[in-house]
Amino acid sequence: MKAIYQKALANSLAYNDYLTLIDEKIAQEASTGHEQNQMLTDFTKLNRARMKRLDKTQQILPELEIITKQITEKQVWLVLTESWCGDAAQNVPVLKKLAEMNPQIDLRMALRDDNDELMQKYLTNGGKSIPKLIAVSADLEKELFTWGPRPAAAQVEVKRLLDENGGFNEKVKEGIQIWYNHDKGISMQQELIDLLKNATN
């Protein structure tokens, strides 16, 4: 796995560089990723606005802040993502806030379609679901923990919405957004508390 981590790390971006890339894609009426269409471009524009807001307003739970600041050895947090992914737009700003709290966390954004070798190792039920956080040791020898593509409670809500609506449509999209607006990043953070506790024990 080390070679796969190394390859993805070499092909990754810092958070702010990722945002710059998204802005460039929007200016080109495009999105990141190998597939291009108007829907993905529109999602990208919407997600960029959400990320801009969350980068300013996202609150971190006190317990998670304490645990994050207690990390004493360097960790690389590789995040598989794309600009069009709504779940990434909602969850990645939390990771950015945590990385800002502790210089031991090296947060790197890896585009899913450009890092398929890594993505294939971290499929969700056989699918390339993102975002996917893969935390590894500084020497890239050890996987510390993974998270994603969305909080467990959100996954339950998505399944309910899909069943209710007979597949993905505008109502499902709206329902997911309502769930995230109410949750305010709490569910993800609670899951990260448990993951970080286990990783440091």
Domains in the chain (CATH in brackets) are: 2-149+187-200 (3.40.30.10)
Which pLDDT does position 201 carry in this prediction? Answer: 60
Residue 84 is classified by DSSP as: T
* Residue 92 φ then ψ, to 5°: -65, -35
Low-confidence ranges of the chain (pLDDT < 50): none
Residues 77 and 135 sit within 8 Å (Cβ to Cβ) = yes
Which pLDDT does position 178 carry in this prediction? Answer: 95
* Residue 147 φ then ψ, to 5°: -145, 150
Is residue 28 helix, strand or coil?
Answer: coil
Sign of CA dihedral 65, 96, 126, 10: negative
Q: What CA–CA distance (Å, rounded) separates 113 from 91?
A: 19
Q: What CA–CA distance (Å, rounded) separates 44 from 21?
A: 11
Give the other-Cβ count within 10 Å of 156's Cβ.
Answer: 12
Structure tokens at 148: 């994603």
Rg (CA), the chain: 16
Which pLDDT does position 23 carry in this prediction? Answer: 98
